[in-house]
Amino acid sequence: MVMIEFFILLLIPYLILWTLWNVYFRKIIKAGLEYVGNNYQETIYKIPPSNSIKLKINGKCVLLISGGTNWVTLRVNHGPRQKVFKIRLLNDPGEVEIINDSKLFSINVIIRRST
């Protein structure tokens, strides 16, 4: 009986922290999507495993990653590789290469560009 009570005492803080993480993560994603403003153009790309795409961007841009892993590797203007989880805000004109490093899962990339 003591073991069950101890387990419940350990589980309650975990559930509280998990709930708070989900609430704040949703707020971060929502604020990130509002970064480009009210006038935007949205496109969706599906990147197969171990592939990449190159895009031209100009001005404010939001990359939202969803799919198997939610991780991508970015190269902005042929610079160093950057690992990105779920969302990235950009304001650099030039070229972005989005690389799916996963060997199993494809990912969807939603790109919002200000117009």
- Ordered strands of the 107-114 beta sheet: 40-47, 107-114, 61-67, 87-90
pLDDT, residue 14, reads 93
pLDDT, residue 9, reads 87
pLDDT, residue 6, reads 86
pLDDT, residue 7, reads 87
Cβ contacts of 82 within 8 Å, gap of 6 or more: 73, 74, 75, 76
Output the tens digit of pLDDT for each of the chain's 115 residues: 678 888 888 899 999 999 999 999 999 999 999 999 999 999 999 999 999 999 999 989 999 999 888 899 999 999 999 999 999 999 989 999 999 999 999 999 999 998 8
